[in-house]
Amino acid sequence: MTDFNYIPSYSSASGVKPRINIVRFGDGYCQRAADGINLFPDKWSLTFDNVTDAVALEMETTLKAAAGGTLRWKPAPAAEADPYRNFMCLEWKRTRNNYNSQTVTLELEEIFD
């Protein structure tokens, strides 16, 4: 388990897609059922604007160390009551802005280990 202690830019977004199993039948009828006990995993699209090359490389090293495993991240770092939660990151991108400045974007999906 790897801690991810970086604070994203304000342009970052979160969303939830409930985990529901749906079976559709030919006459338009469908059945729905909850898929497990953790129905509402958070998904975050994080943007880290204008980070230095060193910080971007450090972030990528942290993401590679997790390699699809568990990242511990706190969605609201200012709120001490909000605990770290477990996420996985399967995709990220670094974009060079100018000399010694990059933008890092990544997708986090909450997991329940």
pTM of the model: 0.80
SS3 112: coil
Q: E strands of the chain, at which residues?
A: 2-3, 13-16, 20-24, 30-34, 42-51, 71-73, 85-98, 101-110
- pLDDT bin (cut points 50, 70, 90) of residue 83 is confident
pLDDT tens for each residue of 91-111: 999 999 988 899 999 999 999
- Reference 94, options 67, 59, 70; nearest CA is 59
pLDDT tens for each residue of 14-38: 899 899 999 999 888 999 999 989 9
**For residues 17 and 96, what is the distance between their CA atoms, to the nearest angstrom?**
32
Q: In sequence order, what are the beta bridge partners of 107?
A: 45, 91
